[in-house]
Structure 1
């Protein structure tokens, strides 16, 4: 069996590199889309304009299938993702717990379940812990793995990864702090919904940029200078 194209120093084939780019694009697009599609879709389908208490709360809305399907797509892609051994380990961890998040829904709203059972509390706790692990792993991708000295990214892209990683960590801290302070947000916008949405968007943006999609689109649009700045 032979492979086509040159073999890079890390041992991957040209086809491997193309597959990695496509997986990164897929993860990035899903991550960027979910915080927008879930609340918008629920508002349209329920004929009620409003925000959710949390992004995870989409499980109990008309967008349940989109929420669960999106998490499964991200989880499966991250588990199948192969680049360097260290990235493989972290992506597999993030992918596994993303699927756990989809299988173990957050606590249901009191309007649906006024008196949660012990089993409901256990599942909700598993959901919260798993989500924290996912976000922590994705923050590590942005702060460390994507910014590794061996990665062929320009300074602009590495600065963006840094910003995305810091934003994800800041959202995690904010969610925890507001939960301890029992602050529910303002004007219908809860800290949990805002933190989860911004974190998922930041993670999606980082993976989208890492896929070289911006540079590729700039090349297609005949903007070589822009492509070079995002190479």
Structure 2
């Protein structure tokens, strides 16, 4: 007689769908870039496609990732890392990358190498101001929940402190060093986001406290993802410092960013496999 299939709980399905959705955002970004490339060609980076019809999917996917990360943050150090990553994802979306002259037809640039298109500054201003205000409201809501004893201050102290620091840094830099912010903001947020995920992968490979260690095969995947992400970030930062976006006609930054996105997607696929039947990652 066939064994009846156990039905999943609502909480299990919620976590499953969130992890699957995060992985799916990478697929959405790649599809939108490929569709845009059919008309504008292959640009020097994935981020350049912000200035193409792929913009809506690119921005929407990153905002969705941020919300899902907050929902999945769990507890302890992993919560702190995922909350931090959730802070940087919207910045990647609302602060566009710099461009080289001639990259996008019709987008004028007052520079010879790479700079921020002045015509997009109002868009960035709207996004940054919204980010700071909404982030500030989120901090106040979190403090209200602590005051109502719906959560402990100890469990959210690091996330709240980091949120205040990031929001203050973004707001002050926008007010007093706007040119530097527009020139480097996207790059810094991108590096921080993927560096945090390299740390999250290491933490999942070697969990702390009384958390059960993952199976050996899963651990090997986490270690590989963390190591490759670290390597990709080193290359990405080196290319940024040296000002290299193409090499012998090959868009190396585009390939590096695509590799980082693939590793990010792979992390969530592994998470889905490991934690498919886990109802609440905070219950151990």
TM-score (norm: length of structure 1): 0.75
8 Å CA contact 2:98, 2:183 repeated in 1: yes
Corresponding position of 2:236 = 175
- 1:139 CA drift (Å): 0.9
Change (3 A) 1:18 1:151: farther
Change (3 A) 1:147 1:37: farther
- Kindly report which structure 2 residues correspond to 1:8-87, keeping only aligned pairs within 5 A, or say none: 15-34=10-29, 36-44=30-38, 46=39, 48=40, 50-87=41-78
Change (3 A) 1:215 1:77: closer
Corresponding position of 1:96 = 87
Corresponding position of 2:203 = 144
Distance in 2, matches of 1:93 and 1:215, equals: 24
Q: 1:154 aligns with which of 215, 227, 239?
A: 215
Question: Which stretch of the first structure deviates more once superposed, 122-131 or 207-216?
Answer: 207-216
**Larger-Rg structure:** 2
**How far does the alpha carbon of each residue in 1:119-147 deviate from its partner, in whole angstroms, 9 at most, with x for none?**
45522311111111101111111122354
Change (3 A) 1:96 1:182: closer
Corresponding position of 1:106 = 97
Corresponding position of 2:251 = 190
- 1:165 CA drift (Å): 1.2
Distance in 2, matches of 1:133 and 1:87, equals: 15
- Residue 205 (str. 1) matches residue 266 (str. 2): yes
- 1:167 CA drift (Å): 1.2
- 1:187 CA drift (Å): 5.0
Which structure 1 segments of 5+ residues have no match?
A: 1-13, 217-231
Change (3 A) 1:80 1:134: same
Question: Which stretch of the first structure deviates more once superposed, 205-214 or 51-60?
Answer: 205-214
TM-score (norm: length of structure 2): 0.62
Aligned partner of residue 148 in structure 1, secondary structure: coil
Question: Which stretch of the first structure deviates more once superposed, 116-125 or 126-135?
Answer: 116-125
- Kindly report which structure 2 residues correspond to 1:127-138, keeping only aligned pairs within 5 A, or say none: 127-138=186-197
Q: Which runs of 4+ in 1 moved over 6 A?
A: 213-216
Corresponding position of 1:221 = none
8 Å CA contact 1:132, 1:172 repeated in 2: yes
Alignment coverage as a number of residue pairs: 199
Question: Which stretch of the first structure deviates more once superposed, 120-129 or 66-75?
Answer: 120-129
Distance in 2, matches of 1:170 and 1:38, equals: 26
